[in-house]
Structure 1
Amino acid sequence: MSYLTPDRTKPITARKLGDYFDRAAVLETLTINAQNAVRAAETPAPKEEHPRSIRERLQRNKATINTPKQDTSQREAVQRMVDREAKRAEGKGTGYDRWAAVHNLKQMAATMSIYEESGFSSPEELEAALATASAELSSVHAKLKAVESALREKKDLQKQLLAYIKTKPARDGLKAQKTEKARKNYREQHESDFMIAEAATRYFKAQGISKIPASKALQAEIEQLMREKNTLYNEYREKRERTKELQTVKSNIGQILRREPERGKGRDNER
Protein backbone atom coordinates (compact mmCIF):
# COMPACT_ATOMS: atom_id res chain seq x y z
CA MET A 1 0.00 0.00 0.00
CA SER A 2 1.39 3.42 -0.95
CA TYR A 3 0.39 7.11 -0.75
CA LEU A 4 0.81 10.01 -3.14
CA THR A 5 0.70 13.43 -1.44
CA PRO A 6 0.25 16.71 -3.36
CA ASP A 7 3.84 17.74 -2.72
CA ARG A 8 5.35 14.56 -4.21
CA THR A 9 5.69 13.18 -7.71
CA LYS A 10 6.29 9.58 -6.62
CA PRO A 11 4.21 7.50 -4.19
CA ILE A 12 5.63 6.61 -0.77
CA THR A 13 4.99 3.19 0.74
CA ALA A 14 3.06 2.71 3.99
CA ARG A 15 6.02 0.79 5.41
CA LYS A 16 8.13 3.96 5.37
CA LEU A 17 5.40 6.03 7.08
CA GLY A 18 4.98 3.67 10.05
CA ASP A 19 2.50 1.17 11.49
CA TYR A 20 -0.41 3.65 11.57
CA PHE A 21 -0.48 3.83 7.77
CA ASP A 22 -0.61 0.13 6.84
CA ARG A 23 -3.74 -1.33 5.23
CA ALA A 24 -5.25 -2.79 8.40
CA ALA A 25 -4.88 0.41 10.44
CA VAL A 26 -6.32 2.60 7.69
CA LEU A 27 -9.33 0.30 7.15
CA GLU A 28 -10.03 0.23 10.89
CA THR A 29 -9.99 4.04 11.09
CA LEU A 30 -12.31 4.37 8.09
CA THR A 31 -14.75 1.88 9.63
CA ILE A 32 -14.87 3.79 12.94
CA ASN A 33 -15.44 7.10 11.13
CA ALA A 34 -18.28 5.60 9.10
CA GLN A 35 -19.97 4.22 12.23
CA ASN A 36 -19.71 7.60 13.95
CA ALA A 37 -21.26 9.31 10.93
CA VAL A 38 -24.21 6.90 10.94
CA ARG A 39 -24.85 7.45 14.65
CA ALA A 40 -24.69 11.21 14.20
CA ALA A 41 -27.19 11.07 11.35
CA GLU A 42 -29.60 8.93 13.38
CA THR A 43 -29.53 11.26 16.39
CA PRO A 44 -32.30 13.88 15.94
CA ALA A 45 -31.25 17.48 16.44
CA PRO A 46 -32.98 19.24 19.36
CA LYS A 47 -35.85 21.39 18.23
CA GLU A 48 -35.84 25.01 19.28
CA GLU A 49 -39.15 26.71 19.73
CA HIS A 50 -39.32 30.14 18.20
CA PRO A 51 -41.92 32.75 19.03
CA ARG A 52 -44.57 33.02 16.36
CA SER A 53 -44.52 36.82 16.35
CA ILE A 54 -42.27 39.72 17.23
CA ARG A 55 -44.52 40.55 20.18
CA GLU A 56 -44.12 37.04 21.61
CA ARG A 57 -40.39 37.25 21.06
CA LEU A 58 -40.24 40.51 23.00
CA GLN A 59 -42.22 39.00 25.88
CA ARG A 60 -40.05 35.91 26.26
CA ASN A 61 -38.90 34.95 29.72
CA LYS A 62 -35.28 35.78 30.52
CA ALA A 63 -34.50 32.12 31.15
CA THR A 64 -35.07 31.38 27.47
CA ILE A 65 -32.64 34.02 26.25
CA ASN A 66 -29.41 32.20 25.44
CA THR A 67 -27.89 34.55 22.92
CA PRO A 68 -24.14 34.77 23.57
CA LYS A 69 -22.84 38.20 24.47
CA GLN A 70 -20.96 40.03 21.75
CA ASP A 71 -18.23 42.60 21.97
CA THR A 72 -20.31 45.78 21.74
CA SER A 73 -17.25 47.83 20.79
CA GLN A 74 -17.11 45.95 17.47
CA ARG A 75 -20.85 46.15 16.85
CA GLU A 76 -22.19 48.58 14.30
CA ALA A 77 -24.48 51.23 15.73
CA VAL A 78 -28.16 50.50 15.27
CA GLN A 79 -30.04 53.11 13.24
CA ARG A 80 -33.64 54.22 13.31
CA MET A 81 -36.03 52.43 11.01
CA VAL A 82 -37.63 54.43 8.22
CA ASP A 83 -41.35 55.14 8.21
CA ARG A 84 -41.92 54.03 4.64
CA GLU A 85 -45.53 55.18 4.50
CA ALA A 86 -44.58 58.67 5.62
CA LYS A 87 -41.75 58.80 3.09
CA ARG A 88 -44.04 57.65 0.30
CA ALA A 89 -46.48 60.38 1.33
CA GLU A 90 -43.63 62.87 1.02
CA GLY A 91 -43.16 61.76 -2.57
CA LYS A 92 -40.22 59.39 -2.25
CA GLY A 93 -39.92 57.08 -5.24
CA THR A 94 -39.77 53.32 -5.70
CA GLY A 95 -35.99 53.22 -5.53
CA TYR A 96 -35.95 54.87 -2.12
CA ASP A 97 -38.73 52.60 -0.91
CA ARG A 98 -36.75 49.50 -1.90
CA TRP A 99 -33.71 50.84 -0.08
CA ALA A 100 -35.85 51.62 2.99
CA ALA A 101 -37.25 48.09 2.98
CA VAL A 102 -33.76 46.57 3.09
CA HIS A 103 -32.61 49.16 5.62
CA ASN A 104 -35.54 48.37 7.91
CA LEU A 105 -34.86 44.64 7.77
CA LYS A 106 -31.24 45.21 8.78
CA GLN A 107 -32.16 47.57 11.59
CA MET A 108 -34.90 45.23 12.79
CA ALA A 109 -32.35 42.43 13.09
CA ALA A 110 -29.88 44.73 14.85
CA THR A 111 -32.61 45.96 17.19
CA MET A 112 -33.69 42.47 18.21
CA SER A 113 -30.07 41.44 18.68
CA ILE A 114 -29.41 44.31 21.10
CA TYR A 115 -32.75 43.72 22.84
CA GLU A 116 -31.94 40.08 23.51
CA GLU A 117 -28.26 40.65 24.32
CA SER A 118 -29.35 43.18 26.94
CA GLY A 119 -31.52 40.53 28.59
CA PHE A 120 -34.82 42.38 28.25
CA SER A 121 -37.93 40.25 28.58
CA SER A 122 -40.47 43.00 27.89
CA PRO A 123 -40.66 46.49 26.36
CA GLU A 124 -41.30 47.76 29.89
CA GLU A 125 -37.86 46.57 30.95
CA LEU A 126 -36.38 48.39 27.98
CA GLU A 127 -38.21 51.55 29.05
CA ALA A 128 -36.87 51.22 32.60
CA ALA A 129 -33.33 50.65 31.33
CA LEU A 130 -33.58 53.74 29.14
CA ALA A 131 -34.76 55.83 32.09
CA THR A 132 -31.85 54.58 34.19
CA ALA A 133 -29.35 55.21 31.40
CA SER A 134 -30.68 58.74 30.89
CA ALA A 135 -30.42 59.49 34.61
CA GLU A 136 -26.86 58.17 34.74
CA LEU A 137 -25.96 60.22 31.68
CA SER A 138 -27.31 63.39 33.31
CA SER A 139 -25.41 62.64 36.52
CA VAL A 140 -22.09 62.10 34.75
CA HIS A 141 -22.67 65.18 32.60
CA ALA A 142 -23.20 67.30 35.71
CA LYS A 143 -20.00 65.95 37.28
CA LEU A 144 -18.09 66.60 34.08
CA LYS A 145 -19.32 70.20 33.90
CA ALA A 146 -18.34 70.78 37.54
CA VAL A 147 -14.82 69.47 36.95
CA GLU A 148 -14.48 71.53 33.77
CA SER A 149 -15.55 74.64 35.66
CA ALA A 150 -13.06 73.96 38.45
CA LEU A 151 -10.34 73.34 35.88
CA ARG A 152 -11.03 76.65 34.15
CA GLU A 153 -10.85 78.48 37.47
CA LYS A 154 -7.55 76.83 38.36
CA LYS A 155 -6.09 77.67 34.97
CA ASP A 156 -7.21 81.29 35.32
CA LEU A 157 -5.57 81.39 38.73
CA GLN A 158 -2.41 79.86 37.31
CA LYS A 159 -2.32 82.47 34.56
CA GLN A 160 -2.60 85.30 37.07
CA LEU A 161 -0.10 83.66 39.41
CA LEU A 162 2.54 83.21 36.72
CA ALA A 163 2.07 86.79 35.57
CA TYR A 164 2.42 88.01 39.16
CA ILE A 165 5.56 85.93 39.72
CA LYS A 166 7.20 87.46 36.64
CA THR A 167 6.81 90.92 38.15
CA LYS A 168 8.77 89.99 41.28
CA PRO A 169 12.04 91.59 40.12
CA ALA A 170 10.24 94.88 39.49
CA ARG A 171 8.47 94.75 42.84
CA ASP A 172 11.69 93.95 44.66
CA GLY A 173 13.42 96.78 42.83
CA LEU A 174 10.78 99.23 44.02
CA LYS A 175 11.41 98.24 47.63
CA ALA A 176 15.10 98.99 47.17
CA GLN A 177 14.42 102.62 46.26
CA LYS A 178 15.27 104.97 49.14
CA THR A 179 13.33 108.11 48.30
CA GLU A 180 9.83 108.88 47.13
CA LYS A 181 11.18 110.53 43.99
CA ALA A 182 13.26 107.46 43.20
CA ARG A 183 10.28 105.19 43.74
CA LYS A 184 8.15 107.38 41.46
CA ASN A 185 10.73 107.31 38.70
CA TYR A 186 11.19 103.58 39.13
CA ARG A 187 7.45 102.91 38.83
CA GLU A 188 7.30 104.98 35.66
CA GLN A 189 10.17 102.98 34.18
CA HIS A 190 8.46 99.65 35.02
CA GLU A 191 4.87 100.76 34.57
CA SER A 192 3.76 97.66 32.62
CA ASP A 193 5.08 95.31 35.31
CA PHE A 194 3.20 97.14 38.05
CA MET A 195 0.00 97.19 36.00
CA ILE A 196 0.22 93.41 35.66
CA ALA A 197 0.97 92.96 39.36
CA GLU A 198 -1.93 95.19 40.39
CA ALA A 199 -4.34 93.37 38.06
CA ALA A 200 -3.27 90.03 39.56
CA THR A 201 -3.68 91.43 43.07
CA ARG A 202 -7.23 92.55 42.27
CA TYR A 203 -7.98 89.08 40.88
CA PHE A 204 -6.70 87.37 44.04
CA LYS A 205 -8.82 89.67 46.18
CA ALA A 206 -11.94 89.11 44.08
CA GLN A 207 -11.50 85.35 44.39
CA GLY A 208 -11.06 85.57 48.14
CA ILE A 209 -7.45 84.38 47.97
CA SER A 210 -5.54 85.74 50.92
CA LYS A 211 -2.51 83.49 50.49
CA ILE A 212 -1.05 82.96 47.04
CA PRO A 213 -0.70 79.22 46.30
CA ALA A 214 2.60 77.62 45.40
CA SER A 215 3.06 77.21 41.66
CA LYS A 216 3.93 73.50 41.89
CA ALA A 217 0.95 72.73 44.12
CA LEU A 218 -1.38 74.55 41.74
CA GLN A 219 0.03 72.64 38.77
CA ALA A 220 -0.54 69.36 40.61
CA GLU A 221 -4.19 70.33 41.22
CA ILE A 222 -4.63 71.15 37.54
CA GLU A 223 -3.16 67.82 36.46
CA GLN A 224 -5.44 65.96 38.88
CA LEU A 225 -8.48 67.80 37.53
CA MET A 226 -7.43 66.99 33.97
CA ARG A 227 -7.25 63.29 34.84
CA GLU A 228 -10.69 63.46 36.41
CA LYS A 229 -12.03 65.27 33.36
CA ASN A 230 -10.66 62.63 30.97
CA THR A 231 -12.09 59.80 33.07
CA LEU A 232 -15.49 61.45 33.31
CA TYR A 233 -15.52 62.29 29.61
CA ASN A 234 -14.86 58.66 28.67
CA GLU A 235 -17.64 57.58 31.02
CA TYR A 236 -19.94 60.27 29.63
CA ARG A 237 -19.25 59.19 26.05
CA GLU A 238 -20.01 55.54 26.86
CA LYS A 239 -23.26 56.41 28.64
CA ARG A 240 -24.26 58.78 25.86
CA GLU A 241 -23.79 56.05 23.27
CA ARG A 242 -25.71 53.55 25.41
CA THR A 243 -28.57 55.99 25.93
CA LYS A 244 -28.70 56.78 22.23
CA GLU A 245 -28.68 53.07 21.43
CA LEU A 246 -31.56 52.35 23.81
CA GLN A 247 -33.53 55.29 22.44
CA THR A 248 -33.11 53.92 18.93
CA VAL A 249 -34.04 50.41 20.03
CA LYS A 250 -37.15 51.76 21.77
CA SER A 251 -38.17 53.70 18.66
CA ASN A 252 -37.62 50.69 16.41
CA ILE A 253 -39.47 48.35 18.78
CA GLY A 254 -42.42 50.72 18.72
CA GLN A 255 -42.44 50.74 14.93
CA ILE A 256 -42.14 46.95 14.81
CA LEU A 257 -45.07 46.51 17.19
CA ARG A 258 -47.20 48.95 15.22
CA ARG A 259 -46.60 46.87 12.10
CA GLU A 260 -47.29 43.55 13.83
CA PRO A 261 -51.14 43.77 13.69
CA GLU A 262 -50.94 44.51 9.96
CA ARG A 263 -48.86 41.39 9.41
CA GLY A 264 -51.33 39.34 11.42
CA LYS A 265 -54.21 40.57 9.25
CA GLY A 266 -52.25 39.69 6.15
CA ARG A 267 -51.69 36.13 7.35
CA ASP A 268 -55.36 35.75 8.29
CA ASN A 269 -56.43 36.89 4.82
CA GLU A 270 -54.08 34.38 3.21
CA ARG A 271 -55.70 31.60 5.21
Structure 2
Amino acid sequence: STPTPKVNLLVDIQAKLQAGKGAGYARWAKVFNLKQMAQTMNYLTEHGLLEYAVLEEKAAAATTRHNELSAQIKAAETRMAEIATLRTHIINYAKTREVYAAYRKAGYSKKFLAEHEADILLHKAAKQAFDDLGIKKLPTVKSLQAEYATLLEGKKKDYAEYRRSREEMRELLAAKANVDRLMGYGEERQNDREKEQGQDR
Protein backbone atom coordinates (compact mmCIF):
# COMPACT_ATOMS: atom_id res chain seq x y z
CA SER A 1 0.00 0.00 0.00
CA THR A 2 1.04 3.61 -0.49
CA PRO A 3 2.98 4.89 2.53
CA THR A 4 1.35 7.80 4.30
CA PRO A 5 3.06 10.96 3.00
CA LYS A 6 5.42 12.44 5.56
CA VAL A 7 6.76 15.47 3.76
CA ASN A 8 5.47 18.87 4.76
CA LEU A 9 1.90 18.98 3.51
CA LEU A 10 2.14 22.63 2.50
CA VAL A 11 5.12 21.88 0.26
CA ASP A 12 3.19 19.00 -1.29
CA ILE A 13 0.11 21.15 -1.83
CA GLN A 14 2.11 24.02 -3.34
CA ALA A 15 3.80 21.62 -5.74
CA LYS A 16 0.47 20.14 -6.73
CA LEU A 17 -1.04 23.59 -7.26
CA GLN A 18 1.94 24.59 -9.44
CA ALA A 19 1.69 21.37 -11.41
CA GLY A 20 -1.95 22.07 -12.07
CA LYS A 21 -1.20 25.36 -13.73
CA GLY A 22 -0.33 23.75 -17.02
CA ALA A 23 -2.64 22.40 -19.67
CA GLY A 24 -6.33 22.39 -18.90
CA TYR A 25 -5.84 24.80 -16.00
CA ALA A 26 -9.34 26.27 -16.27
CA ARG A 27 -10.88 22.83 -15.95
CA TRP A 28 -8.54 21.96 -13.09
CA ALA A 29 -9.29 25.21 -11.25
CA LYS A 30 -13.01 24.41 -11.40
CA VAL A 31 -12.44 21.10 -9.66
CA PHE A 32 -10.25 22.61 -6.97
CA ASN A 33 -11.64 25.79 -5.56
CA LEU A 34 -8.38 27.72 -5.13
CA LYS A 35 -9.81 30.06 -2.51
CA GLN A 36 -10.93 27.06 -0.50
CA MET A 37 -7.50 25.50 -0.88
CA ALA A 38 -5.87 28.70 0.37
CA GLN A 39 -8.17 28.61 3.41
CA THR A 40 -7.23 24.98 3.97
CA MET A 41 -3.54 25.84 3.83
CA ASN A 42 -4.06 28.65 6.34
CA TYR A 43 -5.93 26.26 8.60
CA LEU A 44 -3.19 23.64 8.40
CA THR A 45 -0.54 26.26 9.16
CA GLU A 46 -2.43 27.81 12.08
CA HIS A 47 -3.03 24.42 13.66
CA GLY A 48 0.43 23.03 12.96
CA LEU A 49 -0.99 20.20 10.87
CA LEU A 50 1.97 19.86 8.56
CA GLU A 51 1.98 16.08 8.27
CA TYR A 52 -0.82 14.14 6.66
CA ALA A 53 -0.67 11.44 9.34
CA VAL A 54 -1.20 14.07 12.04
CA LEU A 55 -4.13 15.60 10.14
CA GLU A 56 -5.65 12.15 9.71
CA GLU A 57 -5.17 11.30 13.38
CA LYS A 58 -6.61 14.62 14.59
CA ALA A 59 -9.64 14.26 12.31
CA ALA A 60 -10.29 10.73 13.60
CA ALA A 61 -9.82 11.79 17.24
CA ALA A 62 -12.15 14.77 16.82
CA THR A 63 -14.80 12.54 15.26
CA THR A 64 -14.48 10.00 18.08
CA ARG A 65 -14.74 12.71 20.75
CA HIS A 66 -17.76 14.26 19.04
CA ASN A 67 -19.50 10.88 18.91
CA GLU A 68 -18.67 10.17 22.56
CA LEU A 69 -20.18 13.49 23.64
CA SER A 70 -23.23 12.84 21.51
CA ALA A 71 -23.72 9.45 23.19
CA GLN A 72 -23.20 10.98 26.65
CA ILE A 73 -25.82 13.65 25.98
CA LYS A 74 -28.29 11.08 24.67
CA ALA A 75 -27.74 8.87 27.72
CA ALA A 76 -28.31 11.83 30.05
CA GLU A 77 -31.48 12.79 28.19
CA THR A 78 -32.78 9.22 28.40
CA ARG A 79 -32.14 9.07 32.13
CA MET A 80 -33.66 12.52 32.68
CA ALA A 81 -36.83 11.41 30.88
CA GLU A 82 -36.89 8.26 33.06
CA ILE A 83 -36.52 10.35 36.20
CA ALA A 84 -39.33 12.69 35.17
CA THR A 85 -41.65 9.74 34.55
CA LEU A 86 -40.59 7.97 37.72
CA ARG A 87 -41.11 11.09 39.80
CA THR A 88 -44.67 11.42 38.47
CA HIS A 89 -45.38 7.77 39.28
CA ILE A 90 -43.95 8.07 42.80
CA ILE A 91 -46.11 11.11 43.51
CA ASN A 92 -49.19 9.39 42.08
CA TYR A 93 -48.41 6.23 44.03
CA ALA A 94 -48.16 8.14 47.31
CA LYS A 95 -51.35 10.09 46.61
CA THR A 96 -53.39 7.00 45.77
CA ARG A 97 -51.96 4.52 48.28
CA GLU A 98 -54.77 4.93 50.80
CA VAL A 99 -57.48 4.60 48.17
CA TYR A 100 -55.86 1.44 46.82
CA ALA A 101 -55.53 -0.02 50.33
CA ALA A 102 -59.24 0.65 50.88
CA TYR A 103 -60.00 -0.96 47.49
CA ARG A 104 -58.11 -4.07 48.59
CA LYS A 105 -59.97 -4.11 51.91
CA ALA A 106 -63.24 -3.85 50.01
CA GLY A 107 -62.29 -7.10 48.26
CA TYR A 108 -61.65 -5.29 44.97
CA SER A 109 -65.32 -4.39 44.80
CA LYS A 110 -66.61 -3.20 41.44
CA LYS A 111 -68.65 -0.52 43.15
CA PHE A 112 -65.53 0.85 44.90
CA LEU A 113 -63.60 0.68 41.63
CA ALA A 114 -66.32 2.63 39.83
CA GLU A 115 -66.21 5.34 42.50
CA HIS A 116 -62.40 5.63 42.61
CA GLU A 117 -61.39 4.44 39.16
CA ALA A 118 -59.02 7.30 38.31
CA ASP A 119 -56.99 6.89 41.52
CA ILE A 120 -56.89 3.11 41.24
CA LEU A 121 -55.71 3.26 37.63
CA LEU A 122 -52.99 5.75 38.57
CA HIS A 123 -51.88 3.47 41.39
CA LYS A 124 -51.78 0.42 39.13
CA ALA A 125 -49.88 2.33 36.45
CA ALA A 126 -47.32 3.44 39.04
CA LYS A 127 -46.87 -0.11 40.34
CA GLN A 128 -46.48 -1.39 36.79
CA ALA A 129 -43.86 1.26 36.05
CA PHE A 130 -41.88 0.28 39.16
CA ASP A 131 -42.04 -3.38 38.13
CA ASP A 132 -40.93 -2.54 34.59
CA LEU A 133 -37.95 -0.63 35.94
CA GLY A 134 -37.15 -3.41 38.39
CA ILE A 135 -37.46 -1.09 41.38
CA LYS A 136 -37.74 -2.85 44.71
CA LYS A 137 -37.25 0.15 46.99
CA LEU A 138 -38.67 3.44 45.81
CA PRO A 139 -36.21 6.32 45.61
CA THR A 140 -37.28 9.58 47.21
CA VAL A 141 -38.48 12.41 45.02
CA LYS A 142 -35.72 14.52 46.56
CA SER A 143 -32.99 12.08 45.49
CA LEU A 144 -34.44 11.94 41.99
CA GLN A 145 -34.52 15.72 41.78
CA ALA A 146 -30.88 15.86 42.89
CA GLU A 147 -29.90 13.30 40.24
CA TYR A 148 -31.87 15.21 37.61
CA ALA A 149 -30.13 18.48 38.54
CA THR A 150 -26.70 16.79 38.30
CA LEU A 151 -27.56 15.30 34.92
CA LEU A 152 -28.86 18.62 33.66
CA GLU A 153 -25.70 20.42 34.71
CA GLY A 154 -23.54 17.73 33.11
CA LYS A 155 -25.59 17.88 29.94
CA LYS A 156 -25.16 21.66 29.69
CA LYS A 157 -21.38 21.31 30.02
CA ASP A 158 -21.28 18.44 27.55
CA TYR A 159 -23.43 20.35 25.11
CA ALA A 160 -21.11 23.36 25.15
CA GLU A 161 -18.19 21.03 24.44
CA TYR A 162 -20.30 19.15 21.89
CA ARG A 163 -20.82 22.36 19.89
CA ARG A 164 -17.09 23.12 20.01
CA SER A 165 -16.17 19.57 19.09
CA ARG A 166 -18.64 19.56 16.20
CA GLU A 167 -17.02 22.70 14.80
CA GLU A 168 -13.52 21.28 15.25
CA MET A 169 -14.52 17.98 13.65
CA ARG A 170 -16.12 19.74 10.67
CA GLU A 171 -13.06 21.92 10.11
CA LEU A 172 -10.65 19.00 10.32
CA LEU A 173 -12.74 16.77 8.08
CA ALA A 174 -13.16 19.58 5.54
CA ALA A 175 -9.41 20.26 5.53
CA LYS A 176 -8.65 16.56 5.17
CA ALA A 177 -11.21 16.15 2.38
CA ASN A 178 -9.67 19.10 0.49
CA VAL A 179 -6.17 17.70 0.89
CA ASP A 180 -7.32 14.20 -0.10
CA ARG A 181 -9.05 15.52 -3.20
CA LEU A 182 -6.17 17.70 -4.30
CA MET A 183 -3.43 15.19 -3.57
CA GLY A 184 -5.42 12.16 -4.67
CA TYR A 185 -4.69 10.37 -1.39
CA GLY A 186 -8.17 8.92 -1.22
CA GLU A 187 -7.91 7.61 -4.78
CA GLU A 188 -4.53 6.01 -4.08
CA ARG A 189 -5.94 4.22 -1.08
CA GLN A 190 -8.99 3.12 -3.01
CA ASN A 191 -6.72 1.73 -5.74
CA ASP A 192 -4.62 -0.05 -3.12
CA ARG A 193 -7.73 -1.61 -1.63
CA GLU A 194 -8.90 -2.73 -5.04
CA LYS A 195 -5.46 -4.25 -5.77
CA GLU A 196 -5.48 -6.07 -2.42
CA GLN A 197 -8.97 -7.39 -3.07
CA GLY A 198 -7.84 -8.52 -6.50
CA GLN A 199 -4.96 -10.45 -4.94
CA ASP A 200 -7.28 -12.06 -2.41
CA ARG A 201 -9.45 -13.56 -5.12
Q: TM-score range by the shorter chain?
A: 0.5 to 0.7
Alignment partner of 1:241 is 2:198? no
Q: Deviations over 1:24-62 (max 9, x none)?
A: xxxxxxxxxxxxxxxxxxxxxxxxxxx9x742769xxxx
Relative to total residues, which structure has the larger helix share, 1 or 2? 2
**In 2: Cα distance, 1:236 partner to 1:107 partner:** 26
Superposition deviation, residue 186 in structure 1: 3.7
2:157 is aligned to 231
Output the TM-score relative to the length of structure 2.
0.67
1:200 is aligned to 126
**In 1: Cα distance, 2:131 partner to 2:120 partner:** 16
Give the aligned length: 166
Q: Deviations over 1:52-109 (max 9, x none)?
A: x742769xxxxxxxxxxxxxxxxxxxxxxxxx859xxxxxxxxxx9xx69x9233122
2:13/2:183 contact within 8 Å kept: no
1:212 is aligned to 138
Superposition deviation, residue 190 in structure 1: 0.8
Q: Deviations over 1:181-203 (max 9, x none)?
A: 89764443111111110111121
**In 2: Cα distance, 1:161 partner to 1:130 partner:** 46
Superposition deviation, residue 132 in structure 1: 1.6
1:5 is aligned to none
1:163 is aligned to 92
| Structure 2: runs of 5+ lacking an equivalent | 1-7, 16-25, 185-201
Identity %: 31
**In 2: Cα distance, 1:241 partner to 1:137 partner:** 9
**C-alpha RMSD of the superposition:** 3.3
Superposition deviation, residue 133 in structure 1: 1.4
1:1-271 equivalences in 2 (<5 Å): 54-55=11-12, 85=27, 104-168=33-97, 170-171=99-100, 174=102, 180=106, 185-257=111-183
| Structure 1: runs of 5+ lacking an equivalent | 1-50, 59-83, 87-96, 259-271
- SS of 2:172's equivalent in the other structure is helix
Superposition deviation, residue 204 in structure 1: 0.8
- SS of 2:33's equivalent in the other structure is helix
Output the TM-score relative to the length of structure 1.
0.52
1:263 is aligned to none
Superposition deviation, residue 246 in structure 1: 0.7
**In 2: Cα distance, 1:253 partner to 1:54 partner:** 12
Tell me the amino acid that sits aligned with residue 148 of structure 2. Answer: I
1:54/1:257 contact within 8 Å kept: no
**In 1: Cα distance, 2:48 partner to 2:107 partner:** 83
Query: Does 1 or 2 have the higher relative contact order (CA < 8 Å, sep 6+)?
Result: 2
- SS of 1:121's equivalent in the other structure is coil
**In 1: Cα distance, 2:106 partner to 2:144 partner:** 37
Q: Which protein is bigger by CA-based radius of gyration? A: 1
